[in-house]
Chains A and B, each alone.
Chain A
Amino acid sequence: MVETLQNLHLGFSIALTPSVLLYAFAGCVIGTLVGMLPGVGPLAGISLLLPATFGLNATTAIVLLAGIYYGAMYGGSTTSILMRIPGEAASVMTCIDGYEMTKKGRAGPALAIAAVGSYIAGTLSVVGLMFLAPPLASFALRFGPPEYSALLILGLLVLAYMSSGSMPKALVMAALGLLLGMIGIDTMTGFFRFHYGLVELGDGIGVVPVAVGLFGISEILLTAGQPVPPAVHKPRLRELLPSRQEWRDSAAPIGRGTILGFLIGIIPGSAHIISSFVSYALERRLSKRPERFGHGAVEGVAGPESANNSATSGAFVPMLALGVPSGPIPAVMMAAMMVHGISPGPLLIKQQPELFWGFIASMYVGNVVLLILNLPLVGLFVNLLRIPYPFLYPAILAFCVLGVYAVNQSVVDIWIMTAMGALGYLLRKFDFETAPIVLGLVLAPMLEMSFRQSLAMSSGSYAIFFNRPIAATMLFVAVALMLLSLRPLISRGKDWRRSVGLEEKRALREENP
C-alpha cells in the first residue's frame, strides 16, 4: 500500500511537469476533434496519430495518446447528444435519452452530466485498475467460450428491459439485428454467408454504418422535411448546468454504471460493447418512473456513459496485467506502448514500475484535463444548435459520410449507412424501435462463435455449459430472469390494454410533434 502510493507519487511527478501537461492538453483537443467524427473513435484516433509520437520520449508519448484516447471517447458522446449520431455501438443508448434532452433544450445538462459521469467513471476505474489488476486478470482468464456464451445470453435478456414500446415489436427488431449479424465469413468453417458478390461483407456488416444510419440519418430524414422546421433553442447560461434534481438523479446511475462497466470490461473479448446497453436496461428497471426513459431521462445518459467509459478502462486490466489485449482499443494502445519500448504484461509492474505508474498517472491526468477542457466547451457545443436546421443537416450529413468512410476506407460502408438510414426512417414511421437492432447486430457474431467454439472444445457435448461453475451460474441466473419476465405476460389483460393505449398516444405524437 505504502509502496503503491510512493510509486503513484513517482508517476505523478513525471506526469505533472508542464511540458507533459501540455501534451496531455494537446492530446485531449485532438482526440475530441477526431472523436466528433462519427465512427472515428479512439481506435482510429490513436493509430492515425501514432507516427506523430515517434520522436517523443515514452512518457510524453503515452500521455499524449492517453489524452487522445479520452478525448475521442468523449467526442463521441457529444455528437450522440447533440445530433443523435452515435460514434460507435456503445453510444447508441446515449443517443436515445441524450437527444431527447437536447430537443427539450437540456443539451447543456446532458453534455455536462456525460462529461462528469465519464470523469468519475474514468477516475474510479483507474483506481480499480491500480489495485485490482493482477487478481482480477487471473479471474478474467477463466472466461473461456462457454462462459462467454452464458454472458451473452444474459446480455440478450437485457432486451426485455430496453424498450418502452410493445415487447413483440422490440423482440422482432432484435431478431432482425441478430440475423444481420450472420452476414460474413463464418469463423468456424470459412464459409462466406450472404455475400452476394461483395468481398467487403467478409467481416460482416459494420456496426458503425448501421448505428449512424439507423439513428443519425433516420433522424435527419424525419426532421428535415417537416413543414415547420424544428425550433432553434437559444441556450441561456443558467440552462447550461444540470439542475439540483438532475444531479441527484444521476449520482446513483453513475456509480452503478462505473462498477458494472468495469466488471464487464475486464472480461477478455469484445463484451465491453454491451456494457452501455446493460446499464441502460438496469437503470430503467430500477427507476421508479421507467416511463420517462426514451423521453429524455437524465439517468439514461448518466448510466450508459459512465458504464462505457469504465468498461474501456476495465479492458486495460488484462492488457496491463497479462499482456493480452481484449478488443481493438486495448490492442491499439498496447501496440502504441510497444512501439515506445513498453511491453505490457506480467513483468511490466515488477521490472519497469516507473512506466506502469507513469501510465496510470497519465490516465488520471488525461481525465482531469479533459474535464477542465470540456466543461467550458459545453457552452460552445450547445451553440452549434443555433445554426438553423436547413444549414445544420447538410453539414451533419457530410460529416457522417466522412466518418463512416474513414473507418475502413470503404464506400460499401456509405451504402450500408444509406440503406440503414432508409430502413430506420421506415421503421420509425411504423413505430418500431431501432436500438434492439444494434444490440442484436453486436451480439450475434460473438454469441454464435463462442457457442460453436464451446462445442468444438467439447467435441459436441452440451455438458460443457453445465460442468463449468461460472458458465452454469450465469445460465441459471439467465433462466431465473427469463421466468421472472414471463410472469407479467401470463397475468396480462389490463396491462395489455394500457400498453396499446400508450402506443396509440405515441403514434399520434410522432405525427404531430
Chain B
Amino acid sequence: MTIRLLIALVTLLGPGMVQAQETYPTRPITVVVPFPPGGIADLTARPLAPALERVLKQPVVVANKAGAAGAVGMQSVAIAKPDGYTLLIGLVSISIIPEVDALFARTPAYTRDQFVGIARLNADPPILVVGVETPWKSVKELVDDLKKRPGEVTYSSSGVYGASHVPMEMFLHAAGGLRMRHLPTTGGAPAMTAVLGGHAAMWASPPAVASPHLKAGKIRALATWGATRLAAFPDVPTMKELGHDVEYYLWAGLFAPKGVPTSVVKALRDATRQAVQDPEFRNAMEKVHTPIAHLGGDEFSAWWERDAQKLAGVIKRIGRIESK
C-alpha cells in the first residue's frame, strides 16, 4: 500500500507525468462495454481483455455500463479523461445514435468526433433469414410477393433504428421501395424468437445468432449484406449478386476518447494488433461464430467515416416513426 502511495505521489509531480506517458500503461485499464453481459460486445470484450493484458502487462478490466441502447456507456467514455485508461467497445450503433438524436432534435448524448478509433475487431454482414413455414425460397420470390402484398408481411428487428432495422430498410429501399410491417423487439434473441415462433416472417440476423438455427433447419437464409459471401455460409448469395446494391456490416471496434496523446493511441493500436493474434482470443471468437476481422489505425478511421455517412442517409430516410 505504501509503495503504491509513493508511486502515486511521484506520478503527481511534474516530471512524473512525462514518464507516465512514456511507459503507458502504468495502472489498470478499463474497457467499457455499453451493453448488458452476454451480447456480442461483451463477448468480444471479455476475451480481448486478457489478451490485451498479456501485451500491455497491466490488468484490463471490463465494465458493463448499459442503458439507452448503448448511449449511456458511450457518453461516459466520450467525456472520460483522455488518458488511455478508459476505452470503449463500440458496435455499429456508435454511428447511428447521434443521427437518431439529431432526428428527434435532442441534445446528442455524444458525437462521433469525440472518439478516436483504435481498431476494428470484427465485421460480419447480417443474413436475411425467413421462417421455415414461409413460402419464399429466394430473394426474388420474396420481392415479387412483397410487391403484390405491400404492408402485409412482418419483419422483426432488435429495436427501432437498431443494427438490424437499418439493413432491412436499406434492402426494402433498394428493391424498389417495398413496404412491410415492422415488429421491433428489445434485442437479437427476441427478434429471432419471433421468427422461430412464426410471429414475424423474417429478420436481418447476425450470422452468429442465425448459425445454430440454420444448421438445425429451423430457418432459411436468403441473402447476406456483405460484399463477398460469408466463409461459413458459401451457399448464401450476397444482395449485390442478386442486383440489390446494398452493403452493411455489424462490426465491433475499440475506441478511446478524443484527446488521448498520440503516443498512447499508437501504443494501443500496436497492442491490439498483437492481441488479435493471441490464440486464446482467436479461439474464443471462433467459438461464438464471430471471426476476427482486424482493421487497424487510419485505415479503420477512414472506413468508419464511410460507413457512418452511409448509415446517416438511411436514418434520415426512415425519419421519425410517428403514428402513420
Contact = CB atoms under 8 A, between A and B. Distances in A.
- Please say whether the chains A and B touch (CB closer than 8 A): yes
Interface of A: 43-44, 46-47, 50-51, 54, 141-145, 184-185, 187-192, 197, 199-203, 268-269, 318, 322-326, 328, 331-332, 334-335, 338-341, 343-347, 408-410, 449, 453, 456-457, 459
A51 B212 contact: no
B126 to A, nearest CB: 17
17 contacts: A47-B38, A141-B196, A143-B197, A187-B186, A189-B322, A190-B161, A199-B75, A202-B69, A269-B190, A326-B193, A332-B38, A335-B42, A344-B212, A347-B212, A408-B66, A457-B154, A457-B181
A332 B193 contact: no
B193 A185 contact: no
Nearest to A458: B181
B68 interface: yes
Contact of B199 (A44, A192, A202, A457): A457
B291 interface: no
B104 A191 contact: yes
A339 B216 contact: no
Contacts of B11: none
Contacts of A408: 64-67, 72
Given A190-B161, A203-B67, 9 more contacts: A144-B199, A187-B186, A191-B104, A323-B213, A331-B37, A335-B288, A346-B212, A410-B72, A457-B181
Nearest to A323: B212
B148 interface: no
Nearest to B103: A190
A188 B162 CA distance: 11
Interface stretch (B46-54, B87-95, B264-272): B46-54
A190 B321 CA distance: 8
Given A141-B196, A203-B67, A188 B160 contact: yes
A408 B106 CA distance: 24
For the complex of A and B, the 4 pairs showing the least CB-CB separation, nearest first, are: A202-B68, A47-B37, A144-B199, A331-B38
B278 to A, nearest CB: 11
Contact of B196 (A269, A322, A332, A334): A322
B100 interface: yes
A201 B107 CA distance: 14
A324 B38 CA distance: 12
A335 B45 CA distance: 12
A409 B160 contact: no
B232 to A, nearest CB: 13
Contacts of B320: 189-190
Nearest to A55: B280
Nearest to A333: B38
Interface of B: 32, 36-39, 42-43, 46-47, 49-50, 62-69, 71-72, 75-76, 100, 104, 106-107, 109, 151-152, 154, 159-161, 181-186, 189-190, 192-194, 196-200, 211-213, 215-216, 218, 280, 284, 287-289, 320-322
Given A268-B190, A269-B190, A409-B64, A187 B184 contact: yes
Contacts of B183: 145, 453, 456-457
Contacts of B64: 44, 47, 408-409
Contacts of B109: 199
Among A51, A142, A203, A318, the most chain B Cβ lie within 10 Å of the Cβ of A51
A369 to B, nearest CB: 24
A144 B194 CA distance: 7
A185 B218 CA distance: 32
Contacts of A410: 65, 67, 72
A23 to B, nearest CB: 19
A332 B37 contact: yes
Among A202, A341, A346, the most chain B Cβ lie within 10 Å of the Cβ of A202
B180 to A, nearest CB: 11
B75 A335 contact: no
Contacts of A334: 38
Contacts of B198: 141, 144
Nearest to A184: B68
Contacts of B192: 324
B37 A328 contact: yes
Among B67, B69, B159, the most chain A Cβ lie within 10 Å of the Cβ of B67
B216 A347 contact: yes
A200 B72 contact: yes
B71 A141 contact: no
B189 A331 contact: yes
Contacts of B49: 51
Contacts of A54: 47, 50, 280, 284
Nearest to B217: A346
A86 to B, nearest CB: 20
Nearest to A185: B68
Contact of B160 (A50, A189, A318, A341): A189
A332 B46 CA distance: 12
B319 to A, nearest CB: 11
